[in-house]
Amino acid sequence: MCGRFALFTPLDQLAKMVGATVPEQKVKPRYNVAPGTWIAAVYQTSENEAPIIGEMWWGYRPRWANSTGNQPINARVETLATNAYFKSAFSKHRCLIPADGWYEWIKNTKPKQPHYICRKDRKPLFFAGIFAERDDGSLGCAIVTEPGRGSAAEVHDRMPLILNEDSLKHWLAPDITDRETIKQMVRHIDASLLEHWPVSTKVNKPAEGQSEELINPA
């Protein structure tokens, strides 16, 4: 799964990486992004327009589900195209969730021991995501996950689906809606690019701050 991440790369730099229009708003670095908050997301409304970076609620619940529907933060890639709750978004409303790294916890440790996982070269990551309009008119999203790979699998059996550079435009493209076409054109990054290390248990409580010290080795 992916239930916590960090994003501190400035949005204007991220916009250049995905060919998006540069947002006017300035966003503070966040080192402990939790579900049920507004997060930065990249999406494209038309094939004739550049992608944009906007805010989405981290919690996916389409308008038709009303306010009582489930609000998952993750969606498994294995069933994304067939699950009735997600398949329309997979076809028509895909997005990217930028991050510099994410947190997972080693099982059976007390207190729960978090690890920070990121690229060895410290380049930003782009998680595959899906989104839908919520019943209040805002947009809500979920991060797509896949089985753990490489060193990330040492910490948890699931991880975000992190797309390689060549796949970003295809994942965003609103004119690509066919399941098999998407599968053929989209690839995850090489797992050998990832590494992890234990960090402070302060990560366990988002209210304890957003300091960059959270990602320092414990």
Q: Please name the residues in contact with 89: beta carbons below 8 A apart, sequence gap of 6 or more.
A: 60, 62, 130, 131, 132
Q: Contact at 8 Å (CB) between 116 and 199?
A: yes
- Residue 184, judged by CB atoms within 10 A of its CB (0-12, 13-18, 19+), counts as exposed
Give residue 54's region: left, alpha or beta (phi > 0; psi -120 to 50): beta
- CB neighbour class for 188 (10 Å; exposed up to 12, middle 13-18, buried from 19): middle
Decide if 104 is catalytic.
yes
C-alpha 188/C-alpha 170 separation (Å) is 12
Within 8 A by CB and 6+ apart from 49, the residues are: none
Q: Is position 95 annotated as part of the catalytic site?
A: no
Angle at 19 between CA 94 and CA 89, to 5 degrees: 5
Catalytic residue, candidates 95, 104, 118, 141: 104
Alpha helices in the chain (DSSP H): 11-18, 87-92, 168-172, 179-185
Catalytic residue among 2, 95, 118, 141: 2
Q: Which of 125, 126, 139, 148 is nearest to 77 (CA)?
A: 148
Which residues have a catalytic role annotated? 2, 104
